Structure 1
Amino acid sequence: MRRLNVCLLGPAALVVTAVAIALTPMTSNAAVPDAAGASLAHANIAPADATLAADSAVCDVSDAAITWGVKESLRSYISGTIAHGEWAVGDGATYETPNFGWAAGSGELDAGEGTIAFDGTLRFTGHDGILDTTLSGLEIVFDSTPTAVLIFDVSGTTQDGLPVDAVDVKFATIDVSAISVDDGTAVLDSAPVTLTDAGSAAFGTYPAGEEFDPITVSFSATPECMPEPRATYPVVARNLMVLASVIVIVGGVSVVFFVSRRRGTARTLEPTKDSSDS
């Protein structure tokens, strides 16, 4: 019985350890500043050098440009015989078939995180004035992951004639996983754009998840202030991976334990030769 308890203790300890690891939040070895903001954890960097290292990861952007058609089927519909509509650009936005353009976008990027804002308005009209939707206040928000967010202020009336006046709408997501930085310029070429729930509610024409035209974005940047986007893994997925690995280990240990125990039992049950029989 004592042998059984000792043998079971190992697998049980592994299970407890796995649960503890799974429930522990992911942490980083990032620098933790002291009261003077000068110390870095796990790094032998003097305070002055630390400031330079931090500054190298920050870029002030003032020349960002966007080329985007919004949605080809929307343009075709508005300019067609049903809607009898049109679109107009203003406040710095441009249009050159088949794309709308925004220039001189400005903002700040810090290690792949930040917001770039653009001036310019884009107005869609049609159905004898029933549709009159204006998109303005364009921003792209980066969070160092492979997905950025396209933000608009949406005002006017939808295609169904419903009034809308929404500010800072998370209009669509942009797949930025293919962004590249070369010779001081970040380029995102023909990246997929997907309408969000909020964008669908404000725009009123397409359901959430609708694919819009690909978008092209460029701006001055360095690999430090716009590094390659890092993949994100949900905590639940990480926990499941840890637990699955430990279950495999525990299973292997259990098999070895039971096989060894059966062999030991078999040897115990083997008849012994009585010395009196000789």
Structure 2
Amino acid sequence: PSPSPSATRKKESAARVEDAAVDWGVRRTFREYVTGSVGRGRWALSGGAQDGGAVFRFPQGKGTYDAGSEKLEAVFAGAVRFTAADGLDLRLAGLTARVSSGTGTLLADVTRGGATEKAVPLVTFAAGGLAPEDGLAVLTEAPATLTAEGAKAFGSLYRAGTEMDPVSLAVALDAKAELPALPDLGTGADPSDAPATHSAGTPAARPAAAESGSRTPLAVGGGAAIAAAVAAVLYAARRRRARNT
């Protein structure tokens, strides 16, 4: 018997992902904390992940996309590892984007303290309108929010619901479709280098937790927090003396 019209439409709407990339910078203040005066650390990219300055690209996405329901399941190559002098050692790999009913979730295999937890949902993001045009579906800088599981992955540095860096997706359903170029947002790094490593650059004024209003995890280090507070007091005193002279 011939397939039903509904089955035919379902078969035609489902498509294999030929190529895909997800761009995500995690969170600006987190990067500043890692490479700043408190963290005195760096990040390193591996497995083909690329650095666009303020965003990381995880390429070579593979999976499926249903145009009828705008449902996506794609797994990406590459990893990023953050290390800092206060003991932070966090690696995100195996990033996966899941989109359904206009909502997306970005998941990753999280390694912290030598232990790995698979497919941790880190952030959710708005994904309405992820419809293909000329074989390419694009989502640009969708607002992203930290999940409860994501908060645990970051050692409770941020509360669940914290705004994280936006998520951008590009999904090629046609082998001839070209993904958008990785934006270069200003570090001068060569995105083709893998692994790429960033050492301390412009110092952060304070740990990221201070900006978010979240409690600082033990990993940040009490001595470093005290030193930062003392420096702030001394700076304020110098400014008062300068105004009085």
TM (norm. structure 2) is 0.65
Aligned to 1:196: 147
Contact 1:179–1:189, Cα closer than 8 Å, also in 2: no
Q: Deviations over 1:172-195 (max 9, x none)?
A: 101112434322211101101111
Task: Report the 3-state secondary structure (helix = DSSP H, G, I; strand = E; otherwise coil) of the residue aligned with 2:160.
Answer: coil
Matches within 5 A, 1:8-27: none
Deviation of 1:77 (Å): 1.0
Instruction: Please give the alpha-carbon distance, in whole angstroms, between the structure 2 residues aligned to 1:114 and 1:190.
Output: 17
The match for 2:35 among 79, 96, 102 is: 79
Are 1:124 and 2:93 matched, yes or no? no
How many angstroms apart in 2 are the aligned matches of 1:114 and 1:120?
19
Report the Cα distance in structure 2 between the residues aligned to 1:119 and 1:172, rounded to whole angstroms: 18
Stretch moving more, 49-58 or 80-89? 49-58
Shift of 1:90: 0.3
Q: Alpha carbons of 1:126 and 1:147: their partners in 2 closer, same or farther (altered >3 Å)?
A: same
**Aligned counterpart, 2:48:** 92
Structure 2 residue matching 1:104: 3-state secondary structure: coil
Q: CA RMSD in A?
A: 2.0
Q: In the alignment, which residue of structure 1 is the partner of 2:189?
A: none
Is the partner of 1:152 in helix, strand or coil?
strand
Q: Which position in structure 2 is the counterpart of 1:136?
A: 93
1:154-193 pair list within 5 angstroms: 154-157=110-113, 164-193=115-144
2:107 to 151, 159, 162: 151
Letter in 2 for 1:136: A
What is the Cα deviation at residue 203 of structure 1? Answer: 1.9
Is contact 2:103–2:124 with CA below 8 Å preserved after alignment? yes
Which runs of structure 1 show a deviation greater than 2 angstroms over 4 or more consecutive aligned residues? 46-54, 110-114, 178-181
Contact 1:154 1:203 in 2 (8 A): no
Cα separation, 2, equivalents of 1:167 and 1:47: 38
Equivalent in 131, 142, 167 of residue 215 of structure 1: 167
Shift, 1:54, TM fit: 2.4
For 1:165 and 1:81, locate their aligned partners in 2 and report how far apart those are by CA, in whole Å: 28
Label 1:165 to 1:50 Cα distance change in 2 as closer, same or farther (>3 A): closer
Report deviation, 1:142: 1.6
Deviation digits for residues 131-158 of structure 1, max 9, x if unmatched?
0000011001122x1211111111123x
TM-aligned CA distance change 1:179 to 1:48, over 3 Å: closer
Q: State which structure, 1 or 2, has the greater radius of gyration over its C-alpha atoms.
A: 1
Q: Secondary structure at the match of 1:47?
A: coil
Q: Matches of 1:178 and 1:114 in 2, distance apart?
A: 12
CA contact (8 A) 1:164 1:202 kept: no
* In 2, Cα distance between equivalents of 1:184 and 1:102: 20
The one-character-per-residue Cα deviations of 1:105-132 (angstroms, maximum 9, x if unpaired) are 000123322410011111000025x100
CA distance in structure 1 between the partners assigned to 2:118 and 2:14 by the alignment: 28
In structure 2, what is the Cα distance between the partners aligned to 1:59 and 1:73? 38
Counterpart AA for 2:92: L
1:42-61 alignment, distance < 5 Å: 46-47=2-3, 51-61=7-17
Q: Which runs of 5+ in 2 are unaligned?
A: 175-245
When residues 165 and 56 of structure 1 are mapped into structure 2, their CA distance, relative to the original with a 3 A threshold, is same
Amino acid at match of 1:66: V
Task: Quote the sequence identity (%).
Answer: 33
Higher relative contact order structure (alpha carbons within 8 Å, sequence separation ≥ 6): 2
